Structure 1
């Protein structure tokens, strides 16, 4: 992921991403205002102030490091030791400075939920909350005023962080699974290509090799029979060339789903806001010739929007309509640009009209009140109206 943004489930890798996560973690430290106010206004002695500020600084650093482990692996023993150290330091600060420092246990509970696995956090969060409640009972006058206002945030915040941790883990697993599926699809496509090439060329090349050997042996004594073998070789090679061209045409055939995805990328890159439909399901899709013609129409229309129209918005609509001549699939592309498609006769739209006509479809273009409208229609198979 480029830039400095860090999404859920993404570990910060660059210095910018790490800085963003540190800042996001640091925002919540604003609730340490009670201990800071206690140090500034309670009239502690010089030694107590030094120890108090030093203890608060060590706590903040330890808490930040534990929160920063969210989404990372690590030994639970090390995390538990760090949490125990934070809890011990919080206990000492509460006993030394009073009730204002009980808020530190809220951070201990949240760090437990963020850094520990759920099974361990299930025990550590209530333990930190219970320790805070016990200290509140030990500090005179703080039990009634502080136990519930701090106990509820500690429990809710800690268990909420376990949910965030699980969400991060699930998101990472989902991204890895999607990458694996994409790799498997690419491998399957390569295998399909290898099988098709073997089926297309294996027999033809073997036959060409065999006839070439026969022609070579016949040439000195039977030139007429050798010439016949050469003629057969020419016919086989021409047929193999035709088969390869047909196969390549099938691989390169324009698909509506692919062109919709390409239109999204092109319009986004050009800074044009857009409305795009989803591709039709394969079971309800049009015949191959109609789909290919419609895909070319979408490509031509989007190219004109990006290159020539100066539009700020483009709306693409894909409809299944019933007509007296049978069902048709209608593609309309409307933009709010200058209204000029930028295509001279014989290029662009003219070629597109010819392609649609060969598929049994029609093309309508023209300027509208604000912008340009292209409507392409092709025969469609049975589907919903």
Structure 2
């Protein structure tokens, strides 16, 4: 049987069967304190007739004692059902098979009503996967019918056997419904966990992209203001740089608030302006486009993130003297002449790759001959919609 088919029918592979976690450790299953009392009430329909027939015996024999032990042992095993429900599947499987064997033994040795088998078939329904329930409970019912035929009791008790089969079938569907509901509950919990994890990843990625660029630019501009004051004493220029630092900090604070509330929108044109200012402050020659009109509007926010993170990496790590940015309808390419000779994938590049993958795009980073990196982000264009043939309108008119 193929693996997919075995899972579909509930058999599972060897690892799933023997290592599946118990189902009752999360609070499921019958109540361990109330169940023994309920099981005693449920067992009375078979315990009373069996007890009456045993008490009516003329003398006590070893066989009679064995039947007493068998009957009350069967009831005690049924009362212990909650203790088995939390155990691993092999133990539950052995318990269910044992209950069926005890029930069949009572039907055969004590001439008990086949209704007694219901306790074993019902226990099996809730302990093992559905495919095993069908096979084992079905086999037990067939064996019970065979025992009754051999004993000549089938004509008198076949109605009870049909009742046992019907009740077992109803409980089988009930247990399947319970499994389905439990599966949906677990799936909903997993979805909620994944949603929280995805939101945390989004927030971490946005804050990394946002604060990394803003703090790097602030550091560069503050350093430039210090150098101006130390070397030339050009106070007006230093004051202008400090004003830009103040503006950047206010903008970064606003962006952080918007990012936390998931309301921040990135503008490619604004990122170009910011990149130009940051590169100029770092004394890096910037060859940047002056407009973004040739970029498709739906791609501009994603390319804005790419430009921001790439320029931040250039300012931090590259040691470049020149940066060149080119834009297309569905692509963005950034080159620098820094000292890097190989691509080192950090958190920033991984975050950009995730952003592009979310919109079906891809990020390619390669080392340039002589040093520096080329970063290219590209998003496939959407498939053109099929042209709808034009319908020519005919002038209304009647018969000539």
TM-score by length of 1: 0.51
1:191 correspondence with 2:206: no
Specify which of 183, 189, 201 is matched with residue 173 of structure 1. Answer: 183
Whether 2:245 is the aligned partner of 1:230: answer no
Alignment-derived partner of residue 77 in structure 2: 62
Which residue in 2 is equivalent to 1:35? 50
**What is the count of residue pairs matched by the alignment?**
237
RMSD value, Cα: 3.5
Mapped to 2, the partners of 1:89 and 1:250 lie a distance apart of 63
Q: Which runs of 5+ in 1 are unaligned?
A: 1-8, 252-385
The answer on 1:19 being equivalent to 2:33 is yes
- Please tell me whether the aligned partners of residues 25 and 64 of structure 1 are also in contact (alpha carbons under 8 angstroms): yes
Taking the aligned partners of 1:12 and 1:20, their CA distance within structure 2 comes to 18
Answer whether contact 2:74 2:99 (CA < 8 A) is retained.
yes
Partner secondary structure for residue 38 of structure 1: helix
Q: CA deviation at 1:210?
A: 0.6
Deviations 1:222-259 (A, max 9, x none): 241323322222222233233334555667xxxxxxxx
Alpha-carbon displacement from aligned partner over 1:85-125 (angstroms, at most 9, x marks no partner): 44544454445443x45432232333333333322322322
Do 1:200 and 1:244's aligned partners in 2 also have CA atoms closer than 8 Å? yes
Contact 1:66 1:115 survives alignment (8 Å): no
Shift of 1:193: 1.7
Contact 1:10 1:172 in 2 (8 A): no
Return the offset for 1:209.
Answer: 0.5
Contact 2:203/2:260 (8 A) holds in 1 = no
1:131 to 1:66, Cα distance in 2 relative to 1, 3 A: farther
1:25–1:198: structure 2 CA closer, same or farther, 3 Å change rule? same
Relative to structure 1, the CA distance from residue 95 to residue 243 in structure 2 (aligned partners, 3 Å threshold; closer, same or farther) is closer
2-structure distance, mates of 1:202, 1:53: 80
Instruction: Tell me how far 1:180 sits from its aligned partner.
Output: 1.5
Distance 1:16 1:71 in 2: 10
2:66 paired residue number? 51
Partners in 1 of 2:149 and 2:262 — Cα distance? Answer: 78
* C-alpha spacing 1:181/1:84, structure 2 compared with 1 (3 Å): closer
Tell me the equivalent position of 2:135: 123
Change over 3 Å in CA distance of 1:164–1:21 after alignment to 2: farther
Change (3 A) 1:214 1:73: same
> Cα distance, 1:215 vs. partner?
1.5
Counterpart in the other structure of 2:119: 107
8 Å CA contact retained: 1:112, 1:125: yes
**Aligned equivalents of 1:59, 1:203: Cα separation in 2:** 73
